[in-house]
Amino acid sequence: MSHMAAPSPLRLSVVVIGLNEEARLQGALQAVFDTCPAHCELEVFYVDSGSKDRSVAIAEAMPGVQVLRLQTQRPSAAKARNMGLAQVRGDYVQLIDGDSVLQAGWLETAVQTLEANSGIACVFGQCVEAYPEQSVYMRVCGLDWHIPAGDHRLCGGNSMWRREVIAAHGFFDEALQLGEEPDLCYRVRQQGHRIVCVDQPMVLHDLAMVTFKQYWKRGEATGKAYARVASRYWRLPEKMWLRELVRNFTEPLTWAVVVCLGAVFVGGVGGGLLALLAWWLLRAAKIARTVRKRADGWLGACLYGLHCQFIRLPVVVGQVKGLLQR
C-alpha cells in the first residue's frame, strides 16, 4: 500500500528592522510568532541599525529570532531590510518596522493572496495607528494610512513580498535614504508584477509623534522622498511622483494668490490672511466630508482637513532640500 508524502510546509520569512525600539520591539517580535499560520515554516530576523538601548538584548533573548547588526555610519531602512533579505530562505517575506505589531489573521491572508495569484509581487493591508488619542498629530496622520483595496503603484515598509521577485530586482536601492519603497515598487511593476492592497488590518503602528517639531520633520521627510523619486524617474513614461511634486509646489503659490487678492479686495495684510484662512477652511471642509466616517466624527474629520492643508508647508521645504541635496 503506497502512502502519499505530506506536502512540504510553505516557508515564510519575517524581517523586522529597528533602531532604539526597546519599548516596542518585544511586542513586535512576539506578534510574529503569535500570528504565524500553522502550515508555515517560519524564520525570523531582527536587523538592528545601531541601537544605543536594549533592543539587541531583547531580540537576542527571544527564542527563534536571528539577530543581525547593521554596521554603517549612515543607517537606513533600505540597508537594514537588504541585510535581512540577503539571509532569508522563505518563499514569501514579510517586512516589518520595529514600531509595528502584526495583527491576527494578516499573515494567513497575505500568504493566501500571493498563493492565489502568481502575478502579485507584493501585498499589504491597513496600517492602524495604535494610540490616536495621544496627540492630534497621531490622530490626523493615522488617517493618512487608510488605503483602498486593489492595485496600487507603491506600498510602505510594512508589506509581504514574493522573495524571488524582490531578489530578481536587486532589493531596495541603498542610495536612497528615503523613498526606497516606491522606487522598488516602480521597478517591479515595470516587469508586469502587481502591488496589491487588501482591506484588512495588517499592523498596529505607534507613530510616537507628540510634538510639532516631530510633525514638521515628518513632513519634510515626505517632501524629500517625493523629490528624490520624482527626479529619478521624470524622464520615463510613468514619471513616478512628478505630479505630486509639482502639485505640492503649486499649492503654496495658490495661497500666495489668495493672500494678494484678499489684501486688494478686503484690505491690507489682515485681509489677505483672512482670505487665506477662509480658503483653508473651505478646502478642509471639503476633505472632511470625505473622511467623516473613518475619522469618528466631524472633529477628527475637520482636523484632518486642516492637516492636509498645512502639511504642504513642511513637504515643500523637504522637496526643496531633496532637490538641492541630489
Residues 56 and 174 in one domain: yes
Residues 308 and 176 in one domain: no
Residues 23 and 165 in one domain: yes
**Whole-number pLDDT of residue 3:** 52
CA dist., res. 276 & res. 259, Å (int):
6
Residues 157 and 299 in one domain: no
Residues 263 and 186 in one domain: no
**Whole-number pLDDT of residue 5:** 52
Is the torsion defined by CA of 10, 28, 69, 74 positive or negative? positive
CA 6 vs CA 3, 40, 92: distances in Å: 9, 13, 20
CATH of residue 140: 3.90.550.10
Q: Which residue has the cell 484678499?
A: 262
Give the mean model confidence (pLDDT) for residues 54-73.
94
All residues at 6 or more sequence positions from 243 whose CB lies less than 8 Å from its CB, including other chains: none
In a domain, 96, yes or no: yes
- 13 pairs with which residues across the strands? 43, 93
All residues at 6 or more sequence positions from 20 whose CB lies less than 8 Å from its CB, including other chains: 51, 52, 53, 55
Residues of the domain holding 267: 233-324
In tens, the pLDDT along 191-212 reads: 999 999 999 999 999 999 999 9
Give the mean model confidence (pLDDT) for residues 246-263.
88
Residues 255 and 187 in one domain: no
Question: Are residues 302 and 285 in contact, defined by beta-carbon separation less than 8 angstroms?
Answer: yes
The DSSP code for 132 is G
Residues 274 and 162 in one domain: no
In tens, the pLDDT along 140-186 reads: 988 888 899 999 999 999 999 999 999 998 899 998 888 999 999 99
Name the domain count of the chain.
2
Residues 40 and 134 in one domain: yes
**What percentage of the chain's residues is helix, strand, coil (to nearest 5)?**
50, 20, 30
Question: Are residues 166 and 191 in contact, defined by beta-carbon separation less than 8 angstroms?
Answer: no
Angle CA(79)–CA(27)–CA(21) in degrees, nearest 5?
45
